[in-house]
Amino acid sequence: MVAADWPGVDPEWSREIEVASTSAADEPGAVRRWHLLDNGAELARRGLSPAGTLLCVHGNPTWSFLWRTLLAAGSDPAHPWRVVAVDQLDMGFSERTGTFRRLEDRINDLGDLTAALALEGPVVTVGHDWGGVISLGWALAHPQQLAGVVLTNTAVHQPAESRMPPALRLALHPAVHRWGTTTSDTFLRVTHALAHPPLAAEVRRAYMAPYRGSDRRAGVGNFVADIPADPSHPSFPALSRVAEGLRGLRVPALMLWGPRDPIFSDRYLKDLMGRLPHAKVHRFEGAGHLVAEDRDIASPVFEWLAELGQGAGPVLQRTDALTGGSAVAAEAGTHQAGTSIPPLWAPLTALATGTSGGDTAVAEMAPDGGVSRSLNWRELEQNVAVLAAGLREGGVGHGSRVSLMVPPGVDLTVVLYACLRLGAVVVVADAGLGTRGLSRAVKGATPDFLIGIDKALAAASVLGWPGRRISVRELSATRRRLLGVETSLASLARRGSSLSQDPTSNVKDPDAAPGPDAPAAVLFTSGSTGPAKGVLYTHRQLAAMRDTVATTLGIRPGARLVAGFAPFALLGPALGAVSVTPAMDVTAPRTLTAGALADAAAAIEATVVFASPAALRNVLATKGSLSRAGHEALGRVELLLSAGAPVPEPLLAELQRLLPRASLHTPYGMTEALPVTDISLEEIRVAQADAGAGTAAGAGNGVCVGLPVHGARVAVIPLAADGSAPGNNPVTDTGVTGEILVSAPHVKDAYDRLWLMQRESVRTAGWHRTGDVGHFDAAGRLWVEGRLAHIVTAPGSVVTPVGAEQAIERLDDVGLAAVVGIGPAGTQAVVAVVETVPRARRAGPAAPQLAGRVREAARQAGVSVSAVLAVPAQPTDIRHNAKIDRTRLARWASTVLAGGRPGTP
């Protein structure tokens, strides 16, 4: 197989060079033949002057073919870079030396090659697998030429507390090693099988080409044998020098990672981030070991290079130890960066030391409707303080990531505020993500500690979640060993109590308090629009969220809150509000009954209720079981909040009859910015009347979510004809549909380890691009029309789904409705998928009469529907039970309309 047969490789790039070796593995005066893929000659022939050189180093058992997309991108006249992709000696099409080359030799070999090439700066190294270590070794040895480093799925250190990956242990086993790596081509085939999606046949053949025959695979076996499994290994000192040298490396760094890697998992990424804290990091969810094959890495690499400028990149200052950047600049005011703010827990402390210290602060409901546990403000403050002391002695400190897998209630409230006071970063991933989604989130966040109930600890043990494990309750010694649990919250609290009484203890060290701009929490999105994303908040941003909620909704200390949505249960103490979670499964909102809500309201004489639309639907469905006392308890509620999905006016009207004194509000927001706008039922009715007698047509297309909350600004980027939102010029013009942007002090700091997504979300300077679509009416109210990703591009028009969906849902025999597009962009057919009432027995085409009514309702909203399908239940996210998975639904509808078996969407 010759260069002309390598897909994606220009034969002009392939070259060989003779290099004098200075390696200890060779005899003095030895000359070695190297094969390279190098676009330098092409750039020179075309008269293009490169901005610098990418020095790309493959790992085992790949070769320079791995970097073909970078070579192609570097040849683009718009951003020319010379790309030199090497075949390491004994690998690819370079010389088979017949010697055993160790890590130090390979670093030295690379230096010999670059000297022979007369390679000058600026040079950016690019490495994968063990090529990552070698490229970093070269980088540390050539500081004057170095402008930056790029790493993909590699490692420089084996954590002492964890074993080498099973795949490598197997490859190193004496009974397997030679046969698996050299005698046969098993090691190559297994590596190629790690691609997601699978490699095309011609790509697999290209990867195999240099290694056909056992005599060509000696380097593959030697590479594996040179993995430093422990400190006694001959290459361990060289690896350690590279690992420690990284801590002083101050050039720009980019890490592009495939987390679906059985070898270089997220724990190795975490280690590298600790050594290069200023690095930009992006995890490609679903990608694996061969991330350069699984995803387009050329685009992000060259976008990053463009940000550095043409020439040697500047020394970066550490901006954020976790993500490498800040997001939206804060508005002027009390939350401006550099100013002091009351910490999130300030109201809790104030109430504990005041006259209200003996009043209930947090309570838990029992299934029988009674209160099972409660703490008053003084007890809550004391419990937080002693647990913080115990956690601190146990190793939890500034920057420690702590995954909290505890249901809302007393325990979660105490441990959350204890962690925040210590400066730890709490990681909150909803169990409603499902096993796969939750596991993906936890592994991606790589917590240092995991605090959980038995069920969570069992899952951590089975699924291999990272973090030292702490149980909520006391466990037997046998159970602790089985689950790998070190201690319990009760044990840590007892230790903290003794420390607080010890005059020599530094438990009250004022330096322990985190700064306002320190990271505080990673909160995961619902996963309703793709894999759940970790959203990083600082203490300043969490405090701004608290103050925005308090000011906008009038929630003051002394309020009594029933939280049917976990985040609001956690925010309760920060607002100075008594809080209780009803007896329900908070991961499944539809489990909230009217009786459970009334019991919780009665227990604390609630003035505020927060619940998702799905939860409130079930409350209305079960209201017939309410007692007189239950009606009275709900009758005392003054404020009802519902968010997480559009809330139809008829639903609110029915709720108003159940809670007659309550002001009903539907704040609009997202995990990245909660809340953004707010509107009451009365204001919704005014907006609908203004839009045209309560219809969803014209200026009323979508759901009216009201005016921006205190401190927030909202704008849109107008949509183009293809349904995209190009440009960076926000507008607030009436009736212009576009992507919704928000700027506020409480907008997220960054997406965690998702540099590309973060970059996209803030590409309009000073704004967070939400991915939602909407418009403003003449009164300045925002109407949400759907998600940018769910826009239907029909012939000659762009259809946003929510307006038509709301119109369809007004039909008596329709529950939830979804409008999706089928077919190629620009010529999509509009399909309505409806959840029928009563539920359809099976999914498939809707009955003719229902289909006709659905089409007419959509037509009244200005949308022409081509087909109507019925389902027993819409595929919704688990957190809200209301956000419909339209992407999944569109795939299903496409199959059905093509004549396939309906099945279940």
What's the pLDDT score for residue 327?
A: 32
Question: What percent of the chain has pLDDT above 70?
Answer: 93
Structure tokens at 716: 């849109």
* Confidence (pLDDT) at 319: 30
* Confidence band for 309, pLDDT divided at 50, 70 and 90: confident
* Distance (Å, whole) CA 576 – CA 555: 9
Helix (H, G, I), strand (E, B) or coil at 37: strand
Reduce the secondary structure of 51-87 to three states and give it as a string: CCEEEEECCCCCCHHHHHHHHHHHCCCCCCCEEEEEE
pLDDT surpassing 70 at residue 562: yes
- Give the mean pLDDT of 339-345: 83
Band of pLDDT at residue 589, cut at 50, 70 and 90: confident
Strand ordering across the sheet containing 768-776: 668-670, 673-678, 703-708, 782-787, 768-776, 738-743, 713-718
Residue 611 has pLDDT above 50, yes or no: yes
> Bigger pLDDT: 315 or 207?
207
Mean pLDDT over each residue of the chain, to the nearest integer: 89
251 closest CA partner among 219, 275, 233: 275
CA distances from 206 to 62, 185, 874 (A): 10, 14, 45
More confident residue, 691 or 607: 607
Sheet of strand 425-428: strand arrangement:
485-488, 468-471, 449-452, 401-405, 425-428, 519-524, 534-538, 750-751
Residue 338 confidence (pLDDT)? 59
CA distance 16 to 572: 67
Give the DSSP H/E element, type plus range, for residue 348: helix 346-353
Phi-psi region of 324 (alpha: psi -120 to 50; beta: other; left: phi over 0): left
To which residue do tokens 């903290």 refer?
Answer: 496
- Which pLDDT does position 383 carry in this prediction? 96
Neighbours of 159 (CB within 10 A): 12
- Kindly list the structural domains of the chain, giving each domain's residue range(s) and its CATH number in brackets, ordered by start: 3-308 (3.40.50.1820), 340-353+374-553 (3.40.50.12780), 555-678 (3.40.50.980), 789-905 (3.30.300.30)
pTM equals: 0.90
Closest CA to 710 of 554, 566, 579, 866: 554
Range picked from 323-332, 501-510, 536-545, 644-653 for highest mean pLDDT: 536-545
More confident of the two residues 109 and 879? 109
Identify the pLDDT of residue 46.
Answer: 96
- Model confidence band, residue 686 (pLDDT cutoffs 50, 70, 90): very high
Our measurement of the distance from residue 820's CA atom to the centroid of its chain's CA atoms, rounded to an integer in Å, reads 25
Q: Measured on CA atoms in the order 537, 540, 546, 550, is the torsion positive or negative? A: negative
Alpha-carbon gap, residue 447 to 445, rounded angstroms: 6
What is the rounded average pLDDT of the residues 478-496?
95
Position 71 pLDDT exceeds 90: yes
Residue 591's nearest CA partner among 881, 364, 362, 883 is 881
Mean predicted confidence (pLDDT) in 371-396? 95
pLDDT tens digits along 272-284: 999 999 999 999 9
Residue 697: what pLDDT? 36
Helix crossing, 130-141 with 103-116: angle to 10°?
A: 60
Q: What is the pLDDT of residue 703?
A: 87
Task: Check pLDDT > 90 for residue 318.
Answer: no
Give the C-alpha separation, 568 to 587, whole Å: 14
Q: Give 582-587's long-range contacts (Cβ < 8 A, gap of 24+).
A: 582/365, 583/365, 583/366, 583/367, 583/369, 584/615, 586/407, 586/408, 586/432, 587/430, 587/431, 587/432, 587/878, 587/879
Q: Are 741 and 769 in contact (CB under 8 A)?
A: yes
User: Would the pLDDT of 51 be above 90?
Assistant: yes
Note every long-range contact of 882-886, with CB atoms under 8 Å and residues 24 or more positions apart, other chains counting.
882/589, 882/612, 882/613, 882/614, 882/644, 882/645, 882/816, 883/526, 883/528, 883/529, 883/644, 883/645, 884/528, 884/816, 884/818, 885/528, 886/787, 886/790, 886/801, 886/818, 886/820
DSSP letters for 140-162: HH-TTTEEEEEEES--S---TTS
Give the pLDDT of residue 647.
Answer: 80
Return d(Cα 140, Cα 154) in angstroms, integer.
16
> CB–CB of 478/383 below 8 Å?
no
Per-residue pLDDT at 405 exceeds 50: yes
- 328, 747 Cβ separation under 8 angstroms: yes
Q: pLDDT value at position 321?
A: 30
Min mean pLDDT across 680-694, 802-816, 823-837 is at 680-694
H-helix or E-strand containing 650? helix 649-658
Q: Which residue has the higher pLDDT, 569 or 719?
A: 719
Question: Which one is predicted more confidently, 163 or 425?
Answer: 425
